[in-house]
Amino acid sequence: MCQQKGAHFPSIVIPVFNDGMTIVKVDSQAPFTTKDGSTIRSILDRTNAPVKNQSLAEACVPAGGTTQRHYHRDSEEFYFILEGHGRMEIDGEWRKVEPGDAILIPAGAWHTIEASSELRFLCCCAPPYAHEDTYFE
């Protein structure tokens, strides 16, 4: 699943159908590693759809792994935990996370997630995710 390394965006064909609807199958998206160290597959973003105001990705963090603590100046994020367990930190506050949890990460908030078992979650960013909007300590 989410195992490819290297911070780059894959080139993907935009699947647009006759009625103008865009449908992207997550399994057709190549995984890549973001600046924070998580492995993601873009589900809908500027690289594979006519997206303007948000992005949606599937993210994976292996058991024992963590993302590098960071913030996004412009993007607000939602994480929705699909599988696994871990802990989420936002601006110094830690909470346990598990399947079914939805997490709001405000723009400008320092955050990291650590996996006690392999985590798989959806990540929605508005405006869309950009490497250039990821800042580290």
Q: Looking at the domain assignment, is residue 62 inside a domain?
A: yes
Q: How many domains is the chain partitioned into structurally?
A: 1
Q: Looking at residues 75-86, what average pLDDT do you find?
A: 98
Segments forming the whole domain that contains residue 54: 26-136
Q: State pTM to two decimals.
A: 0.86
> How high is the pLDDT of residue 23?
87
Give the closest residue to 119 by CA, choosing from 66, 89, 83: 83
Q: What's the CATH number where 86 sits?
A: 2.60.120.10
* Mean pLDDT value of segment 103-119: 98
Q: What's residue 137's pLDDT?
A: 85
Mean pLDDT of 6-19: 48
- Look at residue 7 and tell me whether its pLDDT is greater than 50: no
Instruction: Please check whether residue 95 is in contact with residue 102, taking contact to mean a CB–CB distance below 8 angstroms.
Output: no
Does any domain span residue 3? no
Residue 1 pLDDT greater than 90, yes or no: no
The sign of the torsion formed by the CA atoms of 97, 99, 104, 110 equals positive
Cβ atoms of 59 and 39 within 8 Å: the answer is yes
pLDDT value at position 5?
Answer: 42
Q: How far apart are CA 61 and CA 20, in angstroms?
A: 34
Query: For the chain, what is the HEC assignment?
Result: CCCCCCCCCCCCCCCECCCCCECCCHHHCCCEECCCCCEEEEEECCCCCCCCCCEEEEEEECCCCECCCEEECCCEEEEEEEECCEEEEECCEEEEECCCCEEEECCCCCEEEEECCCEEEEEEEECCCCHHHEEEC
Q: Does residue 32 contact residue 48 with C-beta atoms inside 8 Å?
A: no
Residue 10, domain member (yes or no): no
On whether residue 12 sits in a domain, the answer given is: no
21 lies in some domain: no
Q: Is the pLDDT confidence value at 37 over 70? A: yes
> Exposed, middle or buried, 125 (CB in 10 Å: 0-12/13-18/19+)?
buried
Within-domain flag for 108: yes
> Residue 15's pLDDT band (boundaries 50, 70, 90)?
low
Residues above pLDDT 90, as percent of the chain: 68
